[in-house]
Structure 1
Amino acid sequence: MRHERSARLLAATLIATIVGGCGRVGGSSSGASATVDIDGSSTVFRISEAAREGYSAINPKVTVVVDNHGTGGGFGHYLNGEIDIIDASRPANPDEEAKAKAQGIPWTRFNVGTDGITLVVNPENQFVKSLTVAQLKAIWEPGSKITTWKDVDPSWPARKIVFYSPDNDSGTFEYFTEAIVGKKKQQRDDVQPSSDDNTLVNGVAGDVDGLGYFGHAYFEANSNKLRAIPIQNGADDAPVLPSEATILDQSYKPLSRPLFIYVKNSSMRRPAVLGFLKYYLENIVELATKGGYVPPTAEEREANRKALPADGDVSTPTAKDAA
């Protein structure tokens, strides 16, 4: 993974050198760099990639590199001084915050949308009408004894379930396990893990007994070959399907979640990064929608605007620097 990232950064640096007369490697500045490096969540990747495409069309002299090695991988690259922006499908954890503070590399957090982690099965599976949170916990918890559909509900067939899950670096994995299992990064071992959501999509789509989860946009983009499962949060609640409306009003519980980018404060002093960030936030409604997610609310967009430095002066920390 590190070799792949180094190759991409080298390619981006060569391009930036040709079109802008300057470049950077591994996140370090070399004059007025024309490269912006982003890594992290495969969920937020769709929004940042839309931003990259749009900004490249109006400012081709700035090379924006967007990778998707998972939220945890993004924070790791940031703490190694390799990137400017983290795509995050969960908030930074206390350890990540402490390391950033200790290393003197504070960030500012911006909300870029809301997602609903979506449980999916193969369309040929018509017997699973909904799942309760209690059933999901029993299915996904470590040491689960559930191996067939019949183990979940006696009226369902005694066929073996094939499990598909984001890998351990994924913010989706971390959020899902905390919300459903009750413990971060703890779930059954007999899963087909992948850092690539499209691999998970294809896995469930190609397996009549597949069961998996990932960001809602990946379901929407593949709804012709997947079926989303309504989730029943409480005993007295009706099952709820994820949709723009249910994600926005938080009735899709407990799997609605905010999406973020974390931007290195020192990087915002560079015109290339600040210009890209301003474009990103000014167009976030369109970008989040294009990515397949619910855009930030008016209140969230106003909070983003207040946190964004007008001229790149980030010497005075904002309220969101260590959020």
Structure 2
Amino acid sequence: MTDSPNRSVSRRSFLTSAGAVGALALAGCTEGPGSGTDNGLSGSIRISGSSTVYPVAQAVTEQFRSQNPGVEFNLSRDGSGGGFSNLFCEGNSDFNNASREISSDEEEQCSSNDIEYHEINVATDALTVIVNNDFASEYPGVTDMSIDQVRQIWRADGATTWQDVNGDWPDEAINRFGAADTSGTFDYFREAVLGEDANHTSDYSPTEQDNTILQGVQQGRYAIGYFGFSYYQDNQDAVTAVTLQAEDGDSYVEPTLENAKSGDYPLARPLFTYPKVSSLSQDHIAEFARYFVRQSANDSLIADQVGYVPKTEEGMQSELDALNEAISNA
């Protein structure tokens, strides 16, 4: 999604869901820039949702709390969909992070519970496909794949061995590690790679934990996986990233921040957080939301520390203007 005004909406219907989630309480976080400054804010903030957006939220909450020690955070990795259905749309979190836009079913669930939200685009990711290092060394061609080949690997009725994808690759079973179906990364991958006519294979190891994907691919010689660029950037020696070709005749493009920013990388995607509008009536939550938006243009934090593409100053200001309007209406 390009830099654009946000939405504060609520629609009507029904959807029910339940489930338990794990949480990380950030009551004593590492000190960051501006530590020691107390702005007099106090209260708690519950943030649920995407594991992909989690590193951004974690960095921002740590910095905010160093300046506002009276504010405590409960931040968890539930998946975009798990966070929406089990927590946010049930009224049990103040923000839900998401690696894709809120779905129509989630909008209806929120509306049925009188939950109004505001959408904020906080960064851009380069969804990264990874393979095992030893496999890449033995078969260098596996590090260059077309989107069609990736589709063959991950569709329900697709390839079962690497040789099915390319006759020069080994006759070995494909060992897959990917996002669980409660994840926004799963939803985005299914839409961007598989398309409307194909289902995601069930023959894989699903998880909400990106480290589990990393370890699975690292330990399985004929393994493949996908997750957010941030996790690859932090573990570039552990696995090998695949360069991707969007269409026949196109160049193969590496997953980098520069290629995601330019739009050349085929799997560049926007990342979001969704504050609950009623929560924005509380000063500490409104100020944190503003801080989150301002940090979205912080190159040092978003690009250097976390590993995503930050907002432009102009894009950040547009988000901030829309947020302030939502706060004034809270």
Which of residues 86, 94, 101 is equivalent to 1:91?
101
Matched, 1:274 2:286: yes
Letter in 1 for 2:102: A
**Counterpart mapping for 1:123-272 below 5 A:** 123-126=133-136, 127=139, 128-144=142-158, 146-183=159-196, 186-253=199-266, 255-272=267-284
| Farther-moved stretch of structure 1 (179-188 vs 159-168) | 179-188
Distance 1:287 1:86, change over 3 A: farther
Letter in 2 for 1:61: G
Distance 1:266 1:287, change over 3 A: farther
The answer as to whether partners of 2:257 and 2:307 remain within 8 angstroms in 1 is: no
Matched, 1:63 2:68: no
* 1:303 alignment counterpart: 318
| Farther-moved stretch of structure 1 (185-194 vs 258-267) | 185-194
Aligned residue pairs, count: 293
Residue 263 of structure 1 and its aligned partner are, at CA, apart by 0.6
The answer as to whether partners of 1:178 and 1:184 remain within 8 angstroms in 2 is: no
The answer as to whether partners of 1:266 and 1:314 remain within 8 angstroms in 2 is: no
Which of residues 89, 111, 118 is equivalent to 2:128?
118
Q: Deviations over 1:31-83 (max 9, x none)?
A: x9710000101000010000111112111110011101100011111111100
Whole-angstrom distance in 2 between the partners of 1:293 and 1:136 = 23
Q: Deviations over 1:200-234 (max 9, x none)?
A: 01110111111000001111111011100011101
Letter in 2 for 1:41: S
Residue 294 of structure 1 and its aligned partner are, at CA, apart by 0.7
Residue 297 of structure 1 and its aligned partner are, at CA, apart by 2.4
Q: Deviations over 1:170-228 (max 9, x none)?
A: 10011001111113993111101111001101110111111000001111111011100
Residue 237 of structure 1 and its aligned partner are, at CA, apart by 0.3
* 1:52 alignment counterpart: 61
Identity value in percent: 32
Give the 3-state SS of the residue equivalent to 2:114 in structure 1.
coil
| RMSD value, Cα | 2.2
Letter in 2 for 1:262: Y
Give the 3-state SS of the residue equivalent to 2:177 in structure 1.
strand
Distance 1:109 1:311, change over 3 A: closer
* 2:8 alignment counterpart: none
The answer as to whether partners of 1:270 and 1:312 remain within 8 angstroms in 2 is: no
- Report the TM-score when normalising by structure 2: 0.83
The answer as to whether partners of 2:155 and 2:198 remain within 8 angstroms in 1 is: no
Residue 122 of structure 1 and its aligned partner are, at CA, apart by 1.0
Unpaired runs of 5+ residues, structure 2, are 1-17, 29-40
